[in-house]
Amino acid sequence: MNKDLLNTVRALAPIVTHAIKSGQIFSPQCELTDADLDILCEYDVEIPVSEGFCLTANVYRSKQAAQQDEPVPVIMCAHPYNNHHTPALGGTPLKGPPQQYRLIGQVGKPKFSKLTSWESPDPNFWVPAGYAVVNLNLPGYANSGGHPSVFSEHQGKCYYEAIEWVAKQPWCTGKIGLNGVSFLAITQYHVAACQAYGGPPPSLCCISPWEGLTDPYRDIFARGGLTELGFPAFWWNTEVKQSINGTQKDFVASEGDIPTNFVDSHPFYDDFWKEKAAKLEEITVPMLVCGSFSDHELHTMGSFRAFMKARSPHKWLYTHRTGKWDAYYSPDVQELTRCFMDCFLKGDTTNEFLETPPVRLEVRSSRDQIHEVRYENEWPIARTQYQTLYLNQRQSLSHDNPTTPQELTYVAIKGRLTFVYTFAEATELIGYMKLRLWVEARSEENHGQTPDDMGLYVAVSKLDRNKMPVPFYGSVGNKQDLVTRGWGRASRRELDPAASTDWNPVPLADKEQKLEPGEIVLMEIALYPSSTFFDSGEALQLIVSGQEIIPSPPYFKDVSFNRGIHVIHFGDKYDSHLLIPKT
């Protein structure tokens, strides 16, 4: 069995097994509605681009507006997933919802119409609200011409030209807003900061990227220096490969390799990866971005990065810790997004959206208990007080650094260390945590070759007053997630001084720094944004391991180099500690 197939099976097996056992594969976790009778569906509309080929789009408009020659603003999305994969067109299994709803566990049952493709805006909501919807196939996918790629400037260029073509149609007012989840969010960043044309399309009035990574290398393919094996195999083989307009060779001709081999071909953060990172500082259009606390394995860090770095004078951040599709298709979010679009596409300021504070913050006590929803003026929260909790020999965390150097160890391939801190008063931890560790790799029982690298999984969990774990929602249907997670690799420990902050270390990843025998090195590891309430008597538990702490399929990383003993040094000059954000 080749590597790609093996990784795909390993990524898919637990998801498929759960879907069969739970019955979800036969009873998808969503609710489909019939298409609104007023919707005029125009399929495979050809949109010419300057390179001489056409992109294809499905256009959904109001029949009444069409009969009256009444132009309307447009909600648009673009993706590689084939816009024919809708129940209405019979492009989904058994003419039911997109296949993902048979595989991926949901929190509830997201509701959308049979016209809706994977992670896209629902025409049933938008057309009655006075908009048209344009669902675009990116170059080289489905029946769009051109060459297929992912996270590319070329996609941004073609998207730009498609937006301008749509804006000139007699049924469009010339005003366009973008909307969609995941890859449909990522494409928004690239076109809003279009490199080919030096800025956004003139007709692009606003964007609403709902949970989208912004730097593929740092956000998914090599988080903390650990190569992600599971998700690229899952994503490529179940969602992307099948939609290519041609063969895998066409994709390789464009990208040099397939996504499952990207890190093998480009192990360091080189120009290949830098070109795929969205140029967030160049985004100036109004933006409503969703940053989820439940998608640490994929979109969380990139979404918050987008809000922080975009230079849009008008920008808002919506946060939550539920399922991404549950939130996106919920009535509250649909209505919020409509108010945003009405403001910037229709010029409607009577809904007072412009007076909405920039950050909608959700604070959770547990998986199903929301402690508070409130509004803040910025992210990260300006009043945050960062506190240092030092590791100590009793496997607890304290405000005082031990006065003498000490160490604790675990077996790299199966062990872990835990450190607990109990809160004396009710406390909110909102924002970014950072783990500072002094580490060393040793051979097991002083025999064999000393390991020259270490891969670390780190996490913070919440314990109730009985010291029992408190679960949270996580990525891709995970319902037993932790407060936050992070990853690190000793040979990628050097930080990028331009990208790092005191509370968010970012690996430079431009070279390898192997460990020497007996060498003790400093690692600083980012733990991803979270928003959690701890009552008095409840505890925070720091977990450090060489293996996955809580499985979260389809994600798994390459830590095949982990062996021997991992040593954690602390105390005195080895000031190993966890930095926490109290608000």
> What is the CATH number for 484?
2.60.120.260
Reduce the DSSP state of residue 217 to 3 states and report it: helix
**Tens-digit pLDDT profile for residues 209-236:** 999 999 999 999 999 999 999 999 999 9
Beta bridge partners of 419: 542
In this structure, the answer to whether residues 391 and 277 fall within a common structural domain is: no
Q: Point out the domain boundary residue: 251, 266, 282.
A: 282
Whole-model pTM? 0.97
Residues 265 and 414 in one domain: no
Task: Give residue for tokens 């007053």.
Answer: 465
Do 426 and 571 belong together in one domain?
A: yes
Work out the pLDDT band at 446, boundaries 50, 70, 90.
Answer: low
Residue-level pLDDT at 404? 97
Residues 416 and 278 in one domain: no
| Domain assignment present for 307 | no
Average pLDDT, the chain: 97
Q: Is residue 337 part of a domain?
A: no
**Each residue's pLDDT tens digit, 266-291:** 999 999 999 999 999 999 999 999 99
Instruction: Please check whether residue 237 lies inside any domain of the structure.
Output: yes
pLDDT band, residue 426 (cuts 50/70/90):
very high
Q: Examine residue 68 and state whether it is found in any structural domain, yes or no.
A: yes
Q: State how many domains the chain has.
A: 2
Q: Where are the alpha helices (DSSP H) in 208-247?
A: 216, 230-235
Whether residue 141 is contained in a domain is answered as yes
Say if 220 falls within a structural domain. Answer: no
Whether residue 394 is found in the same domain as residue 257: no
Parallel, antiparallel, or unpaired for β 39-48 and 54-62?
antiparallel
Q: Are residues 277 and 393 in the same domain?
A: no
Residue 71, Cβ density class (10 Å: 0-12 exposed, 13-18 middle, ≥19 buried): middle
The pLDDT of residue 312 is above 70:
yes
Q: Which of 257, 282, 307 is the last residue of a domain?
A: 282
Return the ∠ at Cα 91 (arms to 88 and 97), rounded to 5°: 65
The last residue of a domain, from among 237, 258, 282: 282
Residue 238: which CATH number? 3.40.50
DSSP string, 506-565: -B--SS--PPPTT--EEEEEEEEEEEEEE-TT-EEEEEEESS-SS-BTTB-B--TT--SE
Tell whether 161 and 39 lie within a shared domain.
yes
Range of the domain at 18: 3-174+181-202+226-282
3 state SS for 37-88: CCEEEEEEEEEECCCCCEEEEEEEEEHHHHHCCCCEEEEEEEECCCCCCCHH
